[in-house]
Structure 1
Amino acid sequence: MARHSPRDTHGESHNVHNAGWLRAAVLGANDGLISTSGLVVGMAAAGVELRTLLLTAAAGLTAGAFSMAAGEYVSVSSQVDVEKADRAVEERELAEQPKSELQELTSIYQRRGLTPELAAQVARELTQHDALQAHLRDELGITDHNVARPAQAALASAGAFVAGALLPILVVLLYRGPGLTTALTASTLVLLGVLGAVAAKLGGAPIGRGAVRVIFWGALAMGASALIGKVFGTGAVV
């Protein structure tokens, strides 16, 4: 039988540890890429000049980055408020009803499969070690891995949005030829597929599925933007 070293036993890496920052970063990059590319594609299909395209992209990047940061900060701050309120409730109940709280913890472990005797023993020992943390973790599901961090989420979202929004700006600056809308749409969909695949890989999900779903929605956004630009634009083809 093969022997496992302590490093093998305890060196596991779980995808759940990446959930918070990964969600914010992927959402930010996808939003930055799709929304900014959509703006530029629509304006390009309308036949506007280069300066207007760049101004549109820059405005979309700036407004979108601040919007993502503010949205994430407010959302995660609300989660922090909920966690603080729950913590205060548990502290009060532990101080006022220690026996009831011990029984509650025992019941939780019984429902998870422990025998009544073992559940009671585990509950007592964890209560002696750190009663509040035991209740936060096992009753409410609040752990160090999923604790809300508003500033981290806001910065990750804003930074990822800017990174995603840079692609359409670079395409507009560097591309010199016919069919700008086609070039921009194609490059956007390729990068969306890469982002979807990377996110799926980091999250432990099938890579193909992650790529296809973001490409699908990106294609819809690009198509709708180009159609609006054609219908309501100057009629020139860029």
Structure 2
Amino acid sequence: MIELAPWAWALLAFAAFNAGISKTAIPGGATVSVVILASVLPARTSTAAMLLLFIVGDVFALIAYRRHAHWPTLLRLAPAVMAGFLLGFAFLALGDDSVVRRTIGVILLVMIGITLWRRRRSRHSEGAIAAASYGTLAGFTTMVANAGGPVMSMYFIATRTPVQVFLGTSAWFFATVNLVKVPFLAGIGLVTPVVLWMDLLLAPLVVIGALLGMRLAKRMPQRLFERIVVVLTIAGALYLLI
């Protein structure tokens, strides 16, 4: 097991708890957990550890919202997401990491601005156009920087998706994407016994956070939900720019 100070374990515990809440109540909040793990653990270790904790949260998100998913939306997004995956892989092979992260941050901020502008003018995003643009960017950012969450949040806000459908469709989307990532991380040796033991200790906090998130989501008004998502998405974009 990695030797960590008590304060570091406290941060990891909070990150795990926050990951659970984010999966079942506040999409976009997971960025906070990603930042914490990356600051406490070695970068490569944090990537694998965070992914496995997210998968624990995905299980509870599916339990809570699996029936609320809008399957036509997922099918409409799939081709664009796959294209984004391929673009992200090519960009990773050719681009510098810091340039990649900052590029994603800028794109996210521009997309947030466009989304909010369209909402203020009471304009709905076109179905095919929105799916192509947001889907491609989601696939791209997920592959490059594990930052697909903020993009998908903006897509659901742009299309005025109700809270329960938002959470249900997100649950299936990220459960699928995260499972696809596991073999790739395992193949390059990132899913180690150390990571598994650490996540085993932290997983109960993800469960507690997820259960609390289920209760919060049922009582959260649509407008408040959207404002929280926008704020956290902006915070995630700014983090990528730093």
TM-score if structure 2 supplies the norm length? Answer: 0.28
TM-score where L is the length of structure 1:
0.28
Query: Larger C-alpha radius of gyration, 1 or 2?
Result: 1
